Amino acid sequence: MLFNSLHFLLFFIVITALYFSLSQSKRWMLLLAGSCYFYMAFVPVYILILGFTIVVDYFAGILIENSTGKQRKLYLLYSIVANIGVLAVFKYYNFFNDNFSALMQGLGTPFSFPYLSILLPIGLSFHTFQAMSYTIEVYRGHQKAERHFGIYSLYVMFYPQLVAGPIERPQNLLPQFHALHEFDYARVTSGLRLMAWGLFKKVVIADRLAIAVDTVYSNPERYNSVGLIIATIFFTYQIYCDFSGYSDMAIGAARVMGFRLMTNFNNPYQSSSIGEFWKRWHISLSTWFKDYLYISLGGNRVPVPRWYFNLLIVFLVSGLWHGANWTFVAWGAIHGVYLIGGLLTGGIRKRISKILHLDRIPLLSVLTTFGLVAFAWIFFRANSMSDAIYIATHSITGIPGVIHRALTHQTVYQNLGLSTSFMVLMVCSIILLETVHFFHNKYNLAIVFRRLPTPVRWAFYYAIVLAIIFFGVFENRQFIYFQF
Amino acid sequence: MKKLLAKSLLFLMPLVMFFIYLEVNLSTIQNSYSYKRQCFEHQLDSIEVLVLGSSQVVYGINPAFFTLHGFNLSNVSQTLYYDTHLPLAYLDRMPRLKYVMINISYFSFGEQLIDGREAWRDYYYSQYWDVNFPEMEYLDSKRFSKIFLYTPMRSLSYFWDSFQVDLIKNYEPSGYSRIDTTIHTQSDSTGFLRVRTHDDCFLEKRIAENQRDVEEFIRVLQARNITPVLVTPPVCETYSKFINHEKMQRNYDRVQSICSKYNCKYFNYFSDNRFTRTDFCDNDHLNFIGAEKFSRIINREVLVAR
């Protein structure tokens, strides 16, 4: 069931209405049943995989808490192996098998394991990571093992964040299932507002940009560097609006019922460095990797070369987490290199920018970061490594030709097969998005909104609703992050 | 809770009224689906030949050139599923029906709308013909709303035009749609792309179900003493030269096996040299000249000869 579907609209209304009409003792049952229905609307049988990880981690949590010494570590290991095992089989088996058989072919001894013809369960990496964070936190003593099997199942399956996060921590989410959430008009409307904004970002901006992006990325060789750059910038906004739109809807839907989910995005494209970008982009995943992988590897409390190695490992794993394809690994590696390069050249860059007075133009570092991030997205979006390399090289090497065309008064703009009104709508949407972000940074828009006279506020609501309906794309486009 | 409900109702009321206004007005617009159904139901009593198929038939067979009363029930991208399901509910009300022509194109056996870019057409059949493809999503807004069926953006443009739009230009009451162009744009490159598009929408997994539908339909027709005829329409040489001949042969074998099983006739005009470039408006569609020629041939060789 997609958030941008009529099915979800009806589901949400029914579940929320029932939620507030039931007593606290029965609410978890409703949410669990609703979450099962929500998940089974994709591929019903995959609920068994989810059930497997829930059972394993539920008992692992209790066993870890009840044991001491090496035994605790062993139970944690069992749990992690089970979770990673599920990921390995369903997400990475064919990828590793393909690479293994290519290697064997190269060595002159062709061999491969049988191909596993299965569909990747939706959001597998998200709920697996959330389940793992539970056993790790119990092991570390930061969280008590949950004895209520239904509540624990709900922790893994809570429908708003089941398939694409935010990846919650047990300390934040588990206690909320035990707490009573009264109906609060201001909170409910704030949740609904956030959902509407998320839906706007998804169907009006992301899905419309996707039309242009898909056109170019499916046949990159047909486009010049201007076309490739436009498509890449569009994808940069598409993925942000797609994923942050989903997060907004998830956080909003949970907020309506009184649950506080963690913030997942904080205007990432206004970051002035790659380090800052990762503090603002997919926060629930980057903090997961920081807390459970980076720190476990020693973090920055190790010799400098080892620190850099740790950073690179975290980003390579992060790339692989996103998908079983070398393009994702390359994307992770590029970000790792950015970060390490940034650390190595920090001093020199500071001195140069002081000499040239570049530090007086803060927008420059924001634009540079945006450019670097957009470049890395090429590898994330491209259908293959060869396509990615083609787009990356031709985006850059074609620029002199474009400049020459511009200087000789020839057309540089390449039609992406889209109408002018489409392009105008897209550019206006991006400008609107950045304007909202700009004002939200300066003034808290939620507070400003509440203070507006009702007719003005409602005019905004009508504008958003009508824009969603009339300018939105409703072709059941999945959210990009569902595949991860 | 009451406050939220009251405010929501107040907020939604103008929107709901606007959408009802749009829905009512959009439902008055005639499109090829509503128009064909209306014309078809109007002529049920007298139809003797029913022609089914996709765009090659829509533009390629004009029942006006038949000596029997014909109706062209084909539509753009209409698949065998709809060819075999649309007439079922009407057979009892067609006392004079003698022939049903089932179109078998290069891609027919491997195609279902839901697999491709024209999946939206499934919802037109759902709304205007009450025929639902089983794999269609039940809770899709396109199934219930004209705004989403036409797409909200297009609905808005129809609203700006005061709903004065003509979506059935060139359609005749016989179901035939005339293409006036005699400018020949068919080239090898467009032919190659056209065949590639058709190859892309041909899925092996769909063959068995399409063959089953055709066979079931033939059984139903024969039980009512109606003669089913299988016909492959002509295409331009700029199309035929790019086809996968192995696939074409398998299609042919499949049709032959159906024909021998049910003792029915197959007429293959795919590479018929009576059709020249001037008969086509593009690589695989006849223009009005070609349509007249093809309809007369059908009348002579398929209908009168029998």
**CA-based nearest distance A289→chain B, Å:** 38
Query: Of A365, A367, A339, nearest to A353 (Cα)?
Result: A365
For the purposes of burial, counting CB atoms within 10 Å of the CB of B164, is it exposed (0-12), middle (13-18) or buried (19 or more)? exposed
User: Is position A322 annotated as part of the catalytic site?
Assistant: yes
Strand boundaries in chain B, DSSP class E? 49-51, 70-72, 99-103, 227-232, 265-268
Please give the DSSP secondary-structure letter assigned to residue B177. Answer: B
Question: From first to last of its 484 residues, what are the pLDDT tens digits of chain A?
Answer: 788 888 899 999 999 999 999 998 899 999 999 999 999 988 888 899 999 999 999 999 999 999 988 899 999 999 999 999 998 888 888 888 888 888 888 888 877 777 777 777 888 889 999 999 999 999 999 999 999 999 999 999 999 998 887 999 999 999 999 999 999 998 999 999 999 999 999 999 999 899 889 989 988 888 888 889 989 999 999 999 999 999 999 999 999 999 999 999 999 998 989 999 999 999 999 999 999 999 989 988 889 889 999 999 999 999 999 888 899 999 999 999 999 999 988 888 888 888 888 778 888 889 999 999 999 999 999 999 999 999 999 888 877 777 777 777 666 565 666 777 788 888 888 998 988 888 887 888 878 888 888 889 899 999 999 999 888 887 755 556 555 5
Of B141, B155, B156, the CB nearest to A6: B141
List residues of A whose CB lies inside 8 A of any B CB.
5-7, 10, 20, 183, 185, 188-189, 458, 461-462, 465-466, 469-472, 474, 476
User: Residues B226, B128: contact at Cβ < 8 Å?
Assistant: no
Q: Which amino acid is at A475?
A: E
pLDDT of residue B164: 92
Specify the DSSP class assigned to residue A438. Answer: H
Residues A273 and B69: their CA atoms lie apart, in Å, by 75
Identify the residue whose tokens are 């992690």. Answer: A80
Length of chain B, in residues: 306
CA dihedral A284, A290, A296, A299 (to 10 degrees): -170
Query: Can you give the pLDDT at residue B185?
Result: 66
Question: For A461, which residue in chain B has the nearest alpha carbon?
Answer: B11
Q: Running DSSP on this structure, what letter comes out for residue B168?
A: -
For residues B77 and B50, the answer to whether their CB atoms sit within 8 Å is no
**CB pair distance less than 8 Å for B139 and A188:** no
Element (H, E) at A338: helix A326-355
Closest chain A residue to the Cα of B6, Cα to Cα: A185
The pLDDT value recorded for residue B88 is 93
CB contact under 8 A, B4 and A189: yes
Environment class of B104 (CB within 10 Å of its CB; exposed 0-12, middle 13-18, buried 19+):
buried
Considering A127, A322, A335, A394, which one is annotated as catalytic? A322
How far from each other are the two terminal CA atoms of chain B, in whole angstroms?
A: 73
pLDDT at residue A294, rounded to an integer = 93
Global pTM reads 0.80
SS3 A66: helix
Interchain CB contact of B148 with A (< 8 Å): yes
Q: Identify which of B151, B14, B137 has the alpha carbon closest to the alpha carbon of residue A465.
A: B14
CA distances from A69 to A146, A148, A168, B271 (A): 21, 25, 27, 81
Residue of A3, A42, A469 to mutate, interface with B, max B Cβ within 10 Å: A469
The one-letter amino acid code at A228 reads: L
From B278's Cα to the closest Cα of chain A, the distance in A is 30
Å between B162 CA and nearest CA of chain A: 17
Distance (Å, whole) CA A136 – CA A134: 5
Tokens standing for residue A264 = 């997942």
In this prediction, residue A405 carries a pLDDT of 72
CA separation, residue B75 to residues B34, B58, B86 (Å): 11, 6, 11
Would the CB atoms of A462 and B137 count as touching at under 8 Å? Answer: no
Q: What does chain A come to in residues?
A: 484
| Residue appearing with tokens 């990762």 | A278
DSSP classification of residue B46: T
Cβ–Cβ under 8 Å, residues A129 and A168? no
User: What stretches of A125-170 adopt beta strand conformation (E)?
Assistant: none
Would you give per-residue pLDDT tens digits along chain B (306 residues)? 888 889 889 999 999 999 999 999 999 999 999 999 999 999 999 999 999 999 999 999 999 999 999 999 999 999 999 999 999 999 999 999 999 999 999 999 999 999 988 899 999 999 999 999 999 888 788 999 999 999 888 999 999 999 999 999 889 999 999 988 766 667 788 888 889 889 888 999 999 999 999 999 999 999 999 999 999 999 998 899 899 999 999 999 999 999 999 999 999 999 999 999 889 988 899 999 999 999 999 999 998 765
Whole-angstrom distance, CA of residue B222 vs CA of residue B213: 14
Q: Which long-range contacts (CB under 8 A, 24 or more apart) does B156-160 make?
A: B156/A470, B158/B25, B158/B26, B158/B29, B159/B22, B159/B25
Q: In whole angstroms, how large is the CA radius of gyration of chain A? A: 24
Count of A-B CB contacts under 8 Å: 36
The answer to whether residues A36 and A159 touch, using CB atoms and an 8 Å cutoff, is no
Distance of alpha carbon B228 from alpha carbon B255, whole angstroms: 12
- Please, what's the b/e burial string for A167-196 (b: 16 or more CB within 10 A of its CB; e: otherwise)? bbbbeebbebbeeebebeeebbbbbbbbbb
Closest residue, chain A, to B2 (C-alpha): A185
Q: Do B156 and A470 touch (CB under 8 A)?
A: yes
Beta bridge partners of B70: B49
Q: Taking CB atoms and an 8 Å cutoff, what residues of chain A touch B148?
A: 474
Cβ distance A20 to B1 less than 8 Å, yes or no, reads yes
Is B137 close to A465, i.e. CB distance below 8 A? no
Q: Is A220 exposed, middle or buried (0-12, 13-18, 19+ CB in 10 A)?
A: buried
Contacting residues for A112 by C-beta, under 8 A, at least 6 apart: A97, A98, A100, A101, A104
Cβ contact A469–B153 (<8 Å): no
Cβ atoms of residues B54 and B105 within 8 Å: yes
Given 3-state DSSP classes, what are the helix, strand and coil percentages for chain B, each rounded to the nearest 5?
Answer: 55, 10, 40
Rg from Cα positions in chain B: 21
Chain B closest-CA separation from residue A185 CA (Å): 7
